[in-house]
Amino acid sequence: MALHYTYNQETCRYEPVVVSPKRFAKKSFRFLGLSFLLGAAFLGYYNLKYDFLDERIERETNEQLKTEWQLLQEELEKTSAHLTKIEDTDDHNFRTILELEPLPQSIREAGTGGREKESDQVGYPLIRNSIALADKISNRLTIEQQSMDELNKQLEAKQHERASRPAIQPISNHNLIRLNTIFGLRLHPIFNYVRPHNGLDLTAAYGTPVYASADGVVVFAEPNTGYGNVIFVNHGYGFETRYAHLSRYNVKKGDRVKRGQLIGFVGSTGTSTNNHLHYEVIYNGKYINPISFLNTDLTQEEYNRLIQHKHEQPVAEK
C-alpha cells in the first residue's frame, strides 16, 4: 500500500513508502481514539458549564411557577386575614350589640377537615397547602354567611320588639295643652275619693288626633262605662296600651297599627270632666307609669316624622 513517496539518495530515485496495513490500522485507531477523547472532554466541560436547552427551559418555567404560586399563596393569606377581621367584628361587635353569644371556634372551624383528603391527593406540597388553605377559607365563609343570616334575623326581631314598645306620646306636643303626670293614688275628680290613677292625662282640644304609641293590634274599640270610647292595643312582648275618653275612632277591632298611626280623636266620653286623653300602659298584666316609656328626647320635628298625619289640627266637631 503506497500512500506517499520518499527520495532515496542511494538510488537517486523517488520510491514509494510502503506502510503495512497493521501500522495503518494502528495509526488510524490512535487518531480516532484521540479525537474521541478530545470530543468527550469538550462535551463534559460544556455540560458542566451550560445546561441542555430543555433543562434550562424547564428550570426557568419552574422558577416562574414558583413565583406565581407565591403570589397566589400571599393572596390567599391576605384573604384569610381579612376574613378573620370580619369574624372578629361579627363576634365582638354585632353579636354583642344584638345580645348574641360569639360563635365558638369549634363552629367556625367546622367542616374544615372534611375536604382535606382532596388536597392530600395533590402531589406538590406547595400546591397542596394552597388548596387546603383555599378550602378552609371557603368553609369559614359559609359559616360566616350563616352567622350573618342569624344576625339579620335577630336584628329584625329586635327592631320588631323595639317598635312594639310604647315609646311615643299619643298626642303631639304641638296640640298638647297640659300633661298630668300623676300616677298612682289620687283624689278622683268625679267620685271624690282616693283611688289609683293608672295612666297619664293629656289635655287637648276636642277632636285632637290620637296616635298609637307602638306597633300592635287593636283588641278592643268600643264604648266602656268608665273609659268611655276606648281603644286597647296589644303590642306583644307583654305590652298593652289603652286610649280612653275618645270622641271618635279611626280604627276597629282586629286592625294592625303602626307607631304614629292615627287611631282616634280626643273627647270627654265616660267618667271625664274635660276633653283629654287618658293613656295607660300595661306590662305583663300590671299598670306601669307611661312616662317611664315616653321618649322625651324626641324633637317636634322627629315626632312629626313618626306620626303619619303631620301637623294634624284638632278636628272641629259638635
Pairing mode, if any, of strands 216-224 and 209-211? unpaired
User: What are the Cα distances from residue 30, in Å, to 25, 35, 36, 38, 255?
Assistant: 9, 9, 10, 12, 118
Contact 238, 278 (CB under 8 A): no
CB of 276 to Zn ion, least distance (A): 7
Quick check: 259 binds Zn ion (CB under 5 A)? no
Question: Which of helix, strand or coil describes residue 292?
Answer: helix
Q: Which of 95, 136, 165, 278 binds Zn ion (CB under 5 A)?
A: 278
CB of 306 to Zn ion, least distance (A): 23
User: What are the Cα distances from residue 179, in Å, to 18, 249, 269?
Assistant: 147, 22, 18
Alpha carbon 274 to its chain's center: 54
CB of 201 to Zn ion, least distance (A): 4
Contact 282, 263 (CB under 8 A): no
Quick check: 165 binds Zn ion (CB under 5 A)? no
Quick check: 280 binds Zn ion (CB under 5 A)? no
Considering CB under 5 A, how many residues would be counted as binding Zn ion?
2
Only one of the segments 23-31, 86-94, 200-208, 298-306 lies at the binding site for Zn ion (rule: CB under 5 A); that segment is 200-208
Contact 164, 214 (CB under 8 A): yes
CB of 199 to Zn ion, least distance (A): 5
Buried b (16+ CB within 10 A) or exposed e, 7-29: eeeeeeeeeeeeeeeeeeeeeee
Only one of the segments 187-195, 224-232, 234-242, 274-282 lies at the binding site for Zn ion (rule: CB under 5 A); that segment is 274-282
Cβ nearer to Zn ion, comparing 94 with 227: 227
Quick check: 245 binds Zn ion (CB under 5 A)? no
Only one of the segments 25-33, 123-131, 194-202, 249-257 lies at the binding site for Zn ion (rule: CB under 5 A); that segment is 194-202
Quick check: 201 binds Zn ion (CB under 5 A)? yes
Binding footprint of Zn ion on the chain (CB under 5 A) = 201, 278
